[in-house]
Structures are given as C-alpha cells and as structure tokens.
Amino acid sequence: MTETTAHTDTIPQAGSRAPAHEQHQQHPIGLYLVVWVLLFVLSTFSYLVDYVGLQGYLRWSLILLFMVLKAGLIVAIFMHMAWERLALIYAILLPPLLVLVFVALMVSESHYVLFTRLAFFGAAP
C-alpha cells in the first residue's frame, strides 16, 4: 500500500522501479505468536534431550529433528520464505545442500586421520 505513495513522489530511477511489483510481507500477528510459541516448545524439547540424558542414535536423531523443525519455522515464517516465488526459494535454499557433500568428504577424511593417528601414534597422540 505504501508502494503507490512512494512511487508518486519519487523520481523514477532507471531500473530501480522496474515493471515488476514488490510485494509487502503482511501477515497476521497471531501467526508470528504461534511460531514463537512453537520455537519455545521445540527449544525446550531439545534442551530436555540433554537434561534427561538420552544417548546414542535416539539422542542424535531427536537433536537433528528439533533442529530442522526450528530452522524450517524460522526460514519459512519469520524470514517469509514460504511466501516467496520459487525462483528465490531455490536460489537460496538449494546451494546450502551442497554443504552436505563437503560433510561427506570430511567424514571420510576424518576417519582416515583418526586411523593414521591410532596406527602411528598409538592411542595417545
């Protein structure tokens, strides 16, 4: 709604106000409050994972689950990604997935480094 007023009293600058229209992210406050509460609850859950002292695969999968849910809520609702066009969503959210390739490489490398440490320096380096 400000777009119109802003548009009339500014001198059109080349390119800056291209035919495309820029949308304002206007959503009900209640939605933010719900997400806020959800983030609190999820944080409490992930803290409880440590407080209760869960171990092993259950601990790791729960940590990852709560982490992904929290990250998803922040990006989708707080950062308004849920309402953007796919062109932006893919441009921003797909490249970080390549970090997982890097993770896989370094997991393999770390195993090898640990192997050489144990093989050549014994248990205590």
Burial of 8 (0-12, 13-18, 19+ CB in 10 A): exposed
Q: In sequence order, what DSSP letters do the residues of 64-97 get, joined into one string?
A: HHHHHHHHHHIIIIIT-GGGS-HHHHHHHHSGGG
Binding of residue 110 to another protein (CB under 8 A): yes
Binding of residue 61 to another protein (CB under 8 A): no
Supply the minimum distance, in Å, between the C-beta of residue 22 and another protein.
5
23-52 positions binding another protein, by CB under 8 A: 23-27, 29, 32-33, 35-36, 39-40, 43, 46-47, 49-51
Query: Which amino acid is located at 33 in the chain?
Result: L
Binding of residue 60 to another protein (CB under 8 A): yes
Would you say how long the chain is, in residues? 125
66-95 positions binding another protein, by CB under 8 A: 66-67, 70-71, 74-75, 77-80, 84-88, 90-92, 95
